[in-house]
Structure 1
Amino acid sequence: MDTTWRPRPAPGSGPLYLRLSEGIARDIEAGRLPDGWRLPTVRAVAHRLGITPGTVARAYAELRRRGLTSGEAGRGTFVRTSRDLAGFGAESADDAEVVDLSGNWAAPPPSALLKELGGVWTHGQLSTLLGTGLGRDADVLGADYLEGFGLRVPGHRVIATSGGQHALFTALTALTRPGDRIAVDALANPGVRAAARLLNLRTVPVVHDADGMRPDALAAVAADASVVVTTATLHNPTGVTLSAARRAELAEVVRARRLTLVEDDPFGPLAAQAPPPLATLAPDHCVYLASTSKTLAPGLRLAFLSCPPPLADRMASTARGSAWTPASLVVDLVHRWLVGGLVARLVEGRRAESAVRIGLVRELLPAARPCAVGGAHAWVDLGREWEGADVAARARARGVAVAPEGDFGGLRPGFRIGLGAPNSRSELTRGLHRLAELLRAP
């Protein structure tokens, strides 16, 4: 252990907690802090640097979010140099006692359905799919799959990709150039922000109200950003589902200002009462993304992208150039599940489990605002005396992981709770009780 090490914020501008986390991250990546090394306590670092403990707690939370450290209740914060990559904004629960509510997966399907998921191929079929054969026509499958999202499009306008993030990356690559501005939700899906960083795009936040993205706010930024990315159904992280009237107002702005709207719709079929997609209101201006990860299973990594005809060749070329084609096994499996009715049963089962878990949130954590039935997350707004990173650090100390507002842009103090990540209702209940105790604490 290097007893001479001292934490130092990275030079430059920006929030102090981010510069401090970056300074520590550089020391970790340079090998100055070995795997398993215990970082000084929050109070020790605050005293040494002459800053507030809250700033240090936010820096430590950012390091955990990046997967560079892990925290164990009552023991401290430890360096992790040998690790698996976690999902966007997700902290891995190193301690079995930690209830991980930081992820945003759909609620697990009924256990009876799991028996139907395997053993679907003969030896000959596997040989074809594992060889050079492409199996099912992925684009035609996409057109069939999108009908479950309320969208009817011909197969030649659908492009299959290797997951929702690949679809988003494909769309933004085809629609923008480095340095462009794109309009995003004031609290935006971390995947959007990650893709923007990789493509050197600047994000312009669009203000929300209780009904979602405000049309007047979108119109106000239209001169600076010709592409807008949003989720109209079960928005991540706020959980808002746009009403039919709000969708019509946004579509009117998109048409009048000649914008290109990228509608990311990962939860579509799970929301039984949602209005039709924005893409049905502005089809000539909308690129629509739908994946199998939230509705069926996170490990499938298959998504479908629908776009206006003038963009189809460019989108298809971008998708092929970045990941070629989706895995044949996955395409064929989703086809079998779709035609065999298993997709419909999975959706129904996830929706029913979502209703139960949302009921637990309403009962045990009244401060939270869960999304509509079908979704898998809830948002907790915090007053000015709280910050999401501080709450996340305190929650972790109590044995529960959440995703703070910094993961989504940081413009509104709060944190997101993932309802689908726990494998059981009892585990979710345990995490909600711990959060309720935290929010009641002075």
Structure 2
Amino acid sequence: MTMYTPHVARENGPLYKALADSIERDIQAGTLTPGERLPTHRDMADALGVNVSTVTRGYREAEKRGLLSGTVGRGTFVASDAVTSSAMVSFEPGAPGMIEMGLIAPLSYLDPDVAEGFRRIARRKDPTTFLRYTDPRGLPDHRQAGALWARLYGLECGPEEIIVCAGAQHALTCCLAGLLRPGDRLAVDSLTYPGLKSLASMLGIRLAPITMDGQGMMPEALDAACRRNDIKAVYLMPGVHNPTTATMSEPRRDEIARLAEVHDLIIIEDDAYDLTHPGRTTPVSDRARHRAVFVAGLSKSLAAGLRVAFLVAPPALRKPLAQAVLNTIWMAPPLNVELAAMWITDGTAEQILEAKRAEAARRYMIACDVLDGLRFRGKPTGFFCWLELPAPWTGAAFEAAARARGINVFGAEKFVVGDTAAPAAARLSLTGAEDIDDYRQGLWVLWHLLTRKD
């Protein structure tokens, strides 16, 4: 078998970047394919006539770009998602009549009356108060509301622990930019939130995929990864894992928290969908408060367009997180946060959350009816489900075939990290189509696609 040897342009710029560029070109051209093993650092250096350190830097640069995955003792592989976009939203205009079952929409038509909300604010306070620069951490009343919201997730905290952000994605940006540095490794589930993947790639954070089971991240796999590599932090979704809907048990949470102590890991806990189902389990963060940051987002429950989320952070991490808010947007828009805080404190937010759970439950029952005979996992009031595909389907092939029939879904390849093999599965949004008839029609199209005999 011929060893892969890239053509490295040596005219301009550092050689290690030229090596990463050539690897990227070869992946795009199909010369290198997902899962393919690259030569060792020494073999590549000999083939190119360069120092081993140049190859090491080139591979690391390609890994930062999300192209390669390297593991001590196993080698360097082309990332499973190297040719799959992690983007959840396309900037290209969608095809007319496309039924959305990929993007998870938060049932915005059930949100409270924004106009009435602003009128209430104007009657109670001088609105110009919210048009000025404020503390990057947020106004005192807003941080108090954030503490109330965090308690819905099962995390008791005070307003002094809260940092207000412009949505959960911004909160994650502040966590990665404020607490990690380019080149640092972040442990994540082997299938994880695509927005986290894109963000890590943009910031040069290397993701270390950790093997999962029916409860999510496996402690023994996290322990082994930490012993092999220098891992700085771990990203968790223990309540309703995206995309598999797995829920981590209390003992599993205990063990993950213990390992964070053993390996000195920062915990970044982002349970975006935990409030979509009733019943609380104590967050992992509550087991290691001094090293954990918890993202208490609103978007899946209330007025996604307001872009409001709350970070719960320990004393040692608050300053870099607040500095990250200042460096990115200075502050979350106070008027937006005031509206969200008002709805949190007067009980409106919880009423809306219950209404959305009820609608999600109706949609889940429709999915159970239409997808009869297919294997999928979900929560009875959840916003999405994880569909196992029959042979010989792959997630990417199913996504393409569904799109050709006017249905947008997300194949498993969009969620895989590093050299993880993509399972034959897809995530179906139960809330993407606002019209219930469109939603039902989309399910029927997908059912026929997977059960036809031709």
Deviations 1:41-100 (A, max 9, x none): xxxxxxxxxxxxxxxxx99x95xx68xxxxxxxxxxxxxxxxxxxx62568773442211
Deviates further, 351-360 or 250-259: 250-259
The partner residue of 2:152 within 145, 148, 151 is 148
In the superposition, the TM-score normalised over structure 2's length comes to 0.75
- 2-structure distance, mates of 1:219, 1:15: 37
In structure 2, the residue matched to 1:305 is: 311
> In the aligned structure 2, how far is the partner of 1:118 from the partner of 1:326?
17
Q: CA deviation at 1:151?
A: 0.9
For the Cα contact (< 8 Å) 2:104–2:383, is it kept in 1?
yes
Distance in 2 between the 1:434 and 1:92 partners? 24
State the alpha-carbon separation in 2 of the partners of residues 245 and 386 from structure 1: 35
Within 5 Å, which residues of 2 pair with 1:13-412? Answer: 13=27, 16=30, 88=88, 94-108=94-108, 110=110, 119-122=119-122, 125-132=126-133, 136-137=139-140, 138-223=142-227, 224=229, 225-366=231-372, 367-383=374-390, 385-409=392-416, 411-412=422-423
Kindly indicate whether the alpha-carbon contact (under 8 Å) linking 2:276 and 2:383 is maintained by their aligned counterparts in 1: no
- Measured in 2, the distance between the counterparts of 1:359 and 1:117 equals 33
RMSD of the TM alignment (CA)? 2.9
Give the percent of matched residue pairs that are identical in Structure 1 and Structure 2. Answer: 28
Question: 1:11 aligned to 2:15?
Answer: no
Please say if residues 276 and 381 of structure 2, whose CA atoms lie closer than 8 Å, have aligned partners that are also in contact: yes
Quick one: which amino acid aligns to residue 387 of structure 1?
A: T
Q: Given the alignment of the two structures, is residue 419 of structure 1 paired with residue 420 of structure 2, yes or no?
A: no
Deviation, structure 1 residue 413: 2.8
How far off its partner does 1:136 sit?
4.6
Relative distance call for 1:369 and 1:122 in structure 2 (3 A) is same
> Would the alpha carbon gap of residues 368 and 304 (structure 1) be closer, same or farther in structure 2, given more than 3 Å must change?
farther
TM-aligned CA deviation for residue 320 of structure 1: 1.3
Deviation at 1:356, TM superposition (A): 1.1
Secondary structure of the residue aligned to 1:236 is coil
Task: Give the superposition deviation at 1:349.
Answer: 0.6
- 1:370–1:157 Cα change, 3 Å: same
Pair 359,256 (structure 1): closer, same or farther in 2 beyond 3 Å: same
> What is residue 10 of structure 2 aligned with on the other side?
none
Say if 1:326 and 1:357 are closer, same or farther in 2 by CA, change over 3 A.
same
Q: Per-residue CA shift, 1:377-410, capped at 9, x if unaligned?
A: 1111235622211111110111111011222126
Q: Which runs of 5+ in 1 are unaligned?
A: 1-8, 21-57, 67-86
How far 1:122 moved relative to its partner?
2.2
Q: Is the 8 A contact 1:11 1:19 kept in 2?
A: no
TM-score (norm 1): 0.77
Q: CA deviation at 1:235?
A: 1.1
CA distance in 2, matches of 1:337, 1:227: 34
SS in 2 for 1:226: strand
The aligned residue for residue 23 of structure 1 is none
Point out where structure 2 has 5 or more consecutive residues left out of the alignment.
Answer: 1-22, 35-79
SS at match of 1:430: helix
Q: How many equivalent residue pairs?
A: 374
Cα distance in structure 1, aligned partners of 2:165 and 2:112: 30
Corresponding residue SS for 1:395: helix
